[in-house]
């Protein structure tokens, strides 16, 4: 119910009271399972990260060169954003405190490991260059996803993931021009 309500109202307007009403239970019922709204959103974020990690892992083919794997991750991120918009919104707009909910940080670790491994391999294990490239790739993938969700990306769902992949390949080729 939480994901459906987030899809309908957005994560910022999500409330336990409305979820309770729709489920036909008392307003107090969710508090038997979750201490507060943030704890429920943290559970949704953990689910979202698992779904995102599975989507990214499915995009990456072990036999591909690392720059292609990195591009596939960017395309997968854009595809995830469009296919799972409420989960994407929960990850980005809920304001989950990862110190309060370490399970969210733990759920992100496999995805971060996959991403970091690709970036380091592309950059010859140079941490400075890798950090610059990682930031540029994340900004690129997120930018394409956001433009697509906002309705301002040309070409739509079919074009945007491929455009993100192409932009990442261009970043990889021009990474020496990125500031460290």
Percent of the chain with pLDDT over 70: 93
* CB contact at 8 A, 81 and 88: yes
Spatial contact of 141 and 164, defined as CB atoms under 8 Å apart: yes
What local confidence, expressed as pLDDT, does residue 62 receive? Answer: 78
Total structural domains in the chain? 1
CA distance 86 to 92: 10
115-157 pLDDT, tens digit per residue, is: 999 999 999 888 888 999 999 999 999 999 999 888 876 666 6
Q: What angle do CA 71, 72, 75 make, to 5 degrees?
A: 90
Structural domain harbouring 102:
2-177
Phi, psi (degrees; rounded to nearest 5) at 28: -80, -20
List for the chain the helix, strand, coil content (%; round to 5): 75, 0, 25
Q: Which of 112, 140, 114 is nearest to 62 (CA)?
A: 114
Q: How far apart are CA 25 and CA 118, in angstroms?
A: 47
Average pLDDT on 100-129 reads 92
Report helix angle 85-93 to 127-150, nearest 10. Answer: 120
pLDDT surpassing 90 at residue 180? no
Identify the pLDDT of residue 1.
80
Which of 80, 79, 75, 99 lies closest to 90, judged by CA? 80
Provide the CA 53 distance to its chain's centre, in angstroms.
Answer: 8
CATH of the domain at 158: 1.10.357.10
């Amino acid at each position: 119910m939480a994901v459906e309500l987030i899809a309908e109202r957005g994560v910022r307007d999500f409330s336990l009271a409305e979820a309770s009403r729709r489920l036909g239970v008392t307003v107090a019922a969710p508090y038997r399972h979750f201490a507060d709204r943030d704890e429920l959103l943290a559970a949704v974020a953990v689910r979202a990260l698992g779904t995102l990690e599975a989507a990214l892992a499915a995009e990456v083919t072990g036999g591909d060169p690392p720059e292609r794997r990195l591009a596939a991750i960017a395309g997968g991120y854009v595809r995830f954003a469009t296919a799972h918009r409420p989960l994407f919104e929960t990850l980005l707009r809920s304001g989950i405190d990862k110190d309060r909910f370490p399970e969210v940080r733990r759920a992100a670790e496999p995805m971060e490991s996959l991403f970091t491994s690709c970036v380091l391999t592309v950059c010859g294990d140079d941490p400075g260059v890798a950090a610059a490239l990682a930031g540029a790739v994340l900004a690129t993938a997120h930018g394409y996803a956001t433009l697509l969700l906002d309705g301002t990306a040309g070409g739509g769902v079919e074009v945007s993931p491929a455009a993100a992949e192409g932009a990442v390949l261009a970043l990889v080729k021009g990474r020496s021009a990125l500031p460290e």
